[in-house]
Chain A
């Protein structure tokens, strides 16, 4: 039998994720953690990084890399109170790089926190009843749920279920409080009822979705729950399993995969089934090869039927055939909307989720001002955007004024293409980045906007997503235009994905630079403008007109370049 991956050793030696983290934090001679601890810190929501812009310079200066830490705070369902927002703002400006990063999983990220400030920062985050535990690591990550739905009752029920599942799957270890909040060490060793002491073979991700919106990209998740509504009532969920984006260049054994439908379960069974999916992966997932450890590979290796039986056995729940539903889009529904109860919500665009004050768009200050009103709710969307929620008519007026004052109103500046764009963080913090992403996509979109205008498409929504490497953090393989970093300044271009996140894209051009990207897309825009059928989206158009091969399953994602 092949040998366990090194991370497995680290996990089991760690004493439920303690390792030597406390000592690592004390060590004054380096800004880094001990090697093993850099793996463990992830379970606590903390990633060691270094400023890659000056990595070479520091080496010449005989200085260690400029280490700093990225901290991810969990926000189940993306719900956050004005107080919590203000607290995050305080922490970000005090200890981090002065910006708040909204992620593609409805969570917060802070960048640039140095080791000396790490404890204060984590403590600061916890002050507002928010934590970073299990925001990363081989456990269930932040559980996603739709930030909005016209049907308030359904919305609330789904949010509640998401929260329940999140709590149910949160690690029980006391290490977190011990290390970061100076809680005292419990005499009894912790038991992890669901995970056991080696946790999961790999990260695990869960999302809920309420059709017709697929904003949470439920098919990109290890575990998904599609709300089934009859006569305005939530009756249960279609459970999906085995979704995932990540792959590695030049390794066909790794591939993005869309989730399979496992079956329908009624409302009160979602916890049992969710847990069964997790424990099945815990016991059968590949612990020898981290690149083959996600649930999607377990399922392709053993077959969905085997998996379905296993889950049914473990949960004692009988899985019925999936119920019908329709998804129309995996983007966000922007603008003001009023729910059944008359409450107002404004969903607005936060470019690449970066909340900071740049030029005339002063998001950080603007949102601070809005939060200080103390009304309503801040909801993070799965597309790195934000909703100011639950406002009465008076509050709505105040908020709209502030939005205007701080230049935060979408329609004032962002094209339809931009509103449907998303980029991962990448340089300079992400250690895995091969190319720019967050810092580059906005410029590229500006250039593509021109081509869109030439084609007369300025008001047409095409989803475009960029990542700095094939891990797919911005879910590029389910964007109609997917750009995946290959090397400095060069990207792979994927086309043909479904507008609703229901079909994978396919490699169209490999390793191309900006000029080639523009040259490749401009003519396609023109053709799309003239030859599309009514209501046809760009991705579907590319397949119908033979621009690109249709990818029907993860296993045939890697094919000859079309």
Chain B
């Protein structure tokens, strides 16, 4: 069939071609991929080639605020389904949405995650500020609902979603369906929310002539949490020196034959296998028999293997704490888990792992109640540290091992020790790509970029620079890196020095906090380089920040603000605004965790 294809004349009229181009211009790889499937579907006659009639009446506005792409994915799927059902839909990122137009809306769905410590995702920052401010208008004509994305291992679970939901009601809007708060495995909950939404809406007038629901007919498989790709381990190499205070590993996985595609800035989700030693410890502490059979969903599994691969046995989560408070019959814990003492809860989550709780609040449990109390094991994200074009069929990660002493016992992280210590060449790891359209190299290959990536935050920048080298991008590159000790912790030092020598890196500034009396961090280097940095920004530089969300990202933000204020002789607020503008223009992007 394809044999004849080349002989065909260009099938579109100029004007059609133009429209296609316009339509596709702002789509990313995944969206295009989907569309290729859609087109294939149309061509294959899967649907009548006529596009759905716009639903008579109102437009349904779907707004999302999403940092790592989960919410955006849900929003897009919802929009597809809605269109397929004949609704007239407008879907927008809150970043591109003019807050003032909110009062004109009559029907809106908000899909919003929470980041930082109960903060909105970057692209929703301005809207969130506006919504909670006194400037927010009355919204008596608006019907809305909210899907909140979050992670119950954070104290401020789904904070931003909750704020949206209550505030919109305060402003007089009518709640279409109750808020749904999704934990890390959001698929089911978000689908139920979507169904509930459709039930609450009148079927559109032209439902008859509706295009049956379309899914991408993928020319390459798309993997996700339920169907991960089993990638073969090519190499696991510790890349911190022998005297280092921390273990960081460079992990190379093979994508050979998977058809998996990723873009620098994306993350790779890894489905970990918990430390066997920790599983034993858990069984020992609870005195439960690992061979006992339990049920997950409607599946019967041996407890030991469930603890190994299916259940969260390291990081704490609210549902677990509540469940365990019940089992242990401990009022203090119950009170804390119910969120009546946020400080205590925060302390607990920061300092304890599951096994510490089991020890501290003994309970008489059996296999079922133990398994029942534990949250489903969540995938862990790792910023992809390689460029696919530079390393065909490979994906590289930079993994910092979580291993520490607490309560006089060794403690391990699940995924980081799995990747760093328990995997060997030839093993297979369950992974899938998490697209992150919010962390992308500039379209314009000539634009300069400034990368701030201390610690494992440097990972995506390895991919960025590799990619720019691979494509001979003329843009200048500047990296700020920081760690504890120069001698042992300068991640990928040889590569950076090579890039510098070969002109692929124009500037490299490093801060090693523990090599001298006073601590020095990347934000200090940023301040030292104020003049040059602002010159780069004036030359149109894009700023990228990756790594620690708790301290680094805010400190770097303040440094950037102060640098702008000082160099441009403007006030702090004006500088803040300047950063917001940069963020709006996509010239200040963050991938922090």
Which residues of A approach B to under 8 Å, CB–CB?
Answer: 28-31, 54, 57-64, 66, 114, 116
State whether the Cβ of B492 lies closer than 8 Å to any Cβ in chain A.
yes
When chains A and B are docked, how far (Å) is the Cα of A188 from the Cα of B253? 61
- Residues from chain A with a CB closer than 8 A to the CB of B496 are 29
Q: Do A62 and B239 have beta carbons less than 8 Å apart?
A: yes
When chains A and B are docked, how far (Å) is the Cα of A114 from the Cα of B487? 9
When chains A and B are docked, how far (Å) is the Cα of A114 from the Cα of B488? 13
A112 CB to nearest B CB, Å: 11
A35 CB to nearest B CB, Å: 11
- Residues from chain B with a CB closer than 8 A to the CB of A58 are 241
When chains A and B are docked, how far (Å) is the Cα of A342 from the Cα of B276? 76
- Residues from chain A with a CB closer than 8 A to the CB of B250 are 62
With A29-B508, A116-B515 known as contacts, the answer to whether A61 contacts B487 (CB < 8 A) is no
When chains A and B are docked, how far (Å) is the Cα of A92 from the Cα of B432? 53
B side interface size, CB within 8 A: 23
- Residues from chain A with a CB closer than 8 A to the CB of B495 are 62
Binary interface encoding of chain B residues 501-522 relative to chain A, with 1 for a CB under 8 A from any of its CBs, else 0: 0000000101010010000000
- Residues from chain B with a CB closer than 8 A to the CB of A28 are 486, 510, 512
When chains A and B are docked, how far (Å) is the Cα of A384 from the Cα of B301? 72
- Residues from chain A with a CB closer than 8 A to the CB of B487 are 31, 66, 114
When chains A and B are docked, how far (Å) is the Cα of A66 from the Cα of B494? 12
State whether the Cβ of B446 lies closer than 8 Å to any Cβ in chain A.
no
- Among B242, B488, B497, contact of A29 (Cβ-Cβ < 8 Å): B497
Q: Do B237 and A60 have beta carbons less than 8 Å apart?
A: yes
Q: Do A62 and B486 have beta carbons less than 8 Å apart?
A: no
State whether the Cβ of B478 lies closer than 8 Å to any Cβ in chain A.
no
Q: Do A61 and B497 have beta carbons less than 8 Å apart?
A: no
Q: Do A63 and B493 have beta carbons less than 8 Å apart?
A: yes
Would you give 8 A-B contacts (Cβ < 8 Å), ordered by A? Answer: A29-B490, A29-B496, A30-B493, A59-B494, A61-B241, A62-B491, A62-B493, A62-B495
Q: Do B241 and A63 have beta carbons less than 8 Å apart?
A: yes
With A29-B500, A116-B515 known as contacts, the answer to whether A66 contacts B241 (CB < 8 A) is yes
- Among A31, A57, A59, A61, contact of B486 (Cβ-Cβ < 8 Å): A31
When chains A and B are docked, how far (Å) is the Cα of A57 from the Cα of B240? 10
Q: Do A57 and B242 have beta carbons less than 8 Å apart?
A: yes
State whether the Cβ of B238 lies closer than 8 Å to any Cβ in chain A.
yes
- Residues from chain B with a CB closer than 8 A to the CB of A62 are 237, 239, 250, 491-495
Q: Which residue on chain A has the smallest CB distance to residue B494?
A: A62
Q: Do B500 and A61 have beta carbons less than 8 Å apart?
A: no
When chains A and B are docked, how far (Å) is the Cα of A61 from the Cα of B495? 11
- Residues from chain B with a CB closer than 8 A to the CB of A54 are 242
When chains A and B are docked, how far (Å) is the Cα of A337 from the Cα of B242? 49
- Residues from chain B with a CB closer than 8 A to the CB of A60 are 237
When chains A and B are docked, how far (Å) is the Cα of A502 from the Cα of B239? 53
Binary interface encoding of chain B residues 471-496 relative to chain A, with 1 for a CB under 8 A from any of its CBs, else 0: 00000000000000011101111111
Q: Which residue on chain A has the smallest CB distance to residue B250?
A: A62
Q: Do B515 and A63 have beta carbons less than 8 Å apart?
A: no
Q: Do A61 and B237 have beta carbons less than 8 Å apart?
A: yes
A69 CB to nearest B CB, Å: 14
- Residues from chain A with a CB closer than 8 A to the CB of B486 are 28, 31, 116
Q: Do A61 and B238 have beta carbons less than 8 Å apart?
A: yes
Contact residues of B between 233 and 283, Cβ < 8 Å to A: 237-242, 250
When chains A and B are docked, how far (Å) is the Cα of A58 from the Cα of B488? 9
Q: Do B492 and A30 have beta carbons less than 8 Å apart?
A: no
Contact residues of B between 277 and 297, Cβ < 8 Å to A: none
When chains A and B are docked, how far (Å) is the Cα of A60 from the Cα of B494? 10
A472 CB to nearest B CB, Å: 33
When chains A and B are docked, how far (Å) is the Cα of A29 from the Cα of B498? 12
- Residues from chain A with a CB closer than 8 A to the CB of B492 are 62
Given pairs A29-B493, A58-B241, 17 additional interface contacts (CB within 8 A): A28-B512, A29-B508, A31-B487, A57-B242, A59-B494, A61-B238, A62-B239, A62-B491, A62-B493, A63-B239, A63-B488, A63-B490, A64-B490, A64-B494, A66-B487, A116-B486, A116-B515
A63 CB to nearest B CB, Å: 5
Q: Do A61 and B239 have beta carbons less than 8 Å apart?
A: yes
Q: Do A63 and B494 have beta carbons less than 8 Å apart?
A: yes
B28 CB to nearest A CB, Å: 31
- Residues from chain A with a CB closer than 8 A to the CB of B500 are 29
With A28-B486, A116-B515 known as contacts, the answer to whether A64 contacts B497 (CB < 8 A) is yes
- Among B237, B493, B515, contact of A64 (Cβ-Cβ < 8 Å): B493
A94 CB to nearest B CB, Å: 15
B396 CB to nearest A CB, Å: 11
When chains A and B are docked, how far (Å) is the Cα of A59 from the Cα of B494? 8
A287 CB to nearest B CB, Å: 30
B219 CB to nearest A CB, Å: 36
Q: Which residue on chain B has the smallest CB distance to residue A32?
A: B497
When chains A and B are docked, how far (Å) is the Cα of A56 from the Cα of B485? 20
Q: Which residue on chain B has the smallest CB distance to residue A59?
A: B494
Q: Which residue on chain A has the smallest CB distance to residue B500?
A: A29
When chains A and B are docked, how far (Å) is the Cα of A54 from the Cα of B242? 9
A516 CB to nearest B CB, Å: 35
Interface centre among A29, A64, A114 (most CB of B within 10 A): A29
- Residues from chain A with a CB closer than 8 A to the CB of B238 are 61
When chains A and B are docked, how far (Å) is the Cα of A486 from the Cα of B336? 71
B317 CB to nearest A CB, Å: 35
Contact residues of B between 102 and 119, Cβ < 8 Å to A: none
B85 CB to nearest A CB, Å: 53
When chains A and B are docked, how far (Å) is the Cα of A59 from the Cα of B239? 9
When chains A and B are docked, how far (Å) is the Cα of A57 from the Cα of B494? 13
Interface centre among B238, B487, B488, B508 (most CB of A within 10 A): B487
- Residues from chain A with a CB closer than 8 A to the CB of B497 are 29-30, 64
With A64-B493, A116-B515 known as contacts, the answer to whether A29 contacts B237 (CB < 8 A) is no
Q: Which residue on chain B has the smallest CB distance to residue A63?
A: B493
A107 CB to nearest B CB, Å: 28
When chains A and B are docked, how far (Å) is the Cα of A287 from the Cα of B71? 72
- Residues from chain A with a CB closer than 8 A to the CB of B240 are 61
B24 CB to nearest A CB, Å: 39
Q: Do B510 and A29 have beta carbons less than 8 Å apart?
A: yes
B436 CB to nearest A CB, Å: 25
When chains A and B are docked, how far (Å) is the Cα of A114 from the Cα of B241? 15
A360 CB to nearest B CB, Å: 29
Which 5 residue pairs spanning A and B have beta carbons closest together?
A: A61-B239, A62-B494, A63-B493, A62-B239, A62-B492
When chains A and B are docked, how far (Å) is the Cα of A64 from the Cα of B486? 11
When chains A and B are docked, how far (Å) is the Cα of A88 from the Cα of B523? 39
Q: Which residue on chain B has the smallest CB distance to residue A57?
A: B242
A27 CB to nearest B CB, Å: 10
Interface centre among A30, A62, A114, A116 (most CB of B within 10 A): A62
Q: Which residue on chain B has the smallest CB distance to residue A116?
A: B515
B208 CB to nearest A CB, Å: 62
When chains A and B are docked, how far (Å) is the Cα of A60 from the Cα of B493? 11
- Residues from chain A with a CB closer than 8 A to the CB of B508 are 29
B130 CB to nearest A CB, Å: 43
B484 CB to nearest A CB, Å: 14
Interface centre among A54, A58, A114 (most CB of B within 10 A): A58
When chains A and B are docked, how far (Å) is the Cα of A31 from the Cα of B493? 11
When chains A and B are docked, how far (Å) is the Cα of A58 from the Cα of B497? 14
When chains A and B are docked, how far (Å) is the Cα of A90 from the Cα of B549? 43
- Residues from chain A with a CB closer than 8 A to the CB of B491 are 62
A120 CB to nearest B CB, Å: 12
When chains A and B are docked, how far (Å) is the Cα of A30 from the Cα of B494? 9
When chains A and B are docked, how far (Å) is the Cα of A61 from the Cα of B240? 6
B498 CB to nearest A CB, Å: 10
When chains A and B are docked, how far (Å) is the Cα of A28 from the Cα of B500? 13
Interface centre among A28, A58, A59 (most CB of B within 10 A): A28
Contact residues of B between 195 and 245, Cβ < 8 Å to A: 237-242
When chains A and B are docked, how far (Å) is the Cα of A28 from the Cα of B242? 20
When chains A and B are docked, how far (Å) is the Cα of A30 from the Cα of B487? 9
- Residues from chain A with a CB closer than 8 A to the CB of B493 are 29-30, 62-64
- Residues from chain B with a CB closer than 8 A to the CB of A59 are 494
- Residues from chain A with a CB closer than 8 A to the CB of B512 are 28
When chains A and B are docked, how far (Å) is the Cα of A29 from the Cα of B515? 13
Interface centre among A63, A64, A114 (most CB of B within 10 A): A63
